[in-house]
Amino acid sequence: MHVSVDSGLCIGCDLCARLCPLTFSMDGKKAEVRDPLGHAREDVSKVADKCPTGAIRVSHAEWTKHLR
């Protein structure tokens, strides 16, 4: 699983770091990915859906590996 935060979209609301603190942390006023595997994929996907600006991207790399 690959997780990224678009720092241009992030408004630093802290929601992701509060809900999944093992995966996200705050670097000043922006979120950053601490450990993509820190929380279960379902939990990280839920946080991505809740992000108010859609700044979090989650891709399921294990699926694309099988498509190559």
Contact residues: ligand SF4, CB under 6 A: 5, 10-16, 31, 51-53, 55-56
Q: Nearest distance from residue 55's CB to ligand SF4, in Å?
A: 4
CB-wise, 15 or 58, nearer to ligand SF4?
15
Whole-number Å distance between alpha carbons of 7 and 5? 6
Q: Nearest distance from residue 7's CB to ligand SF4, in Å?
A: 8
CB-wise, 37 or 54, nearer to ligand SF4?
54
Whole-number Å distance between alpha carbons of 28 and 42? 26
Name the residue among 42, 50, 41 with its Cα closest to residue 16: 50
Q: Which residue has the tokens 């790399």?
A: 61
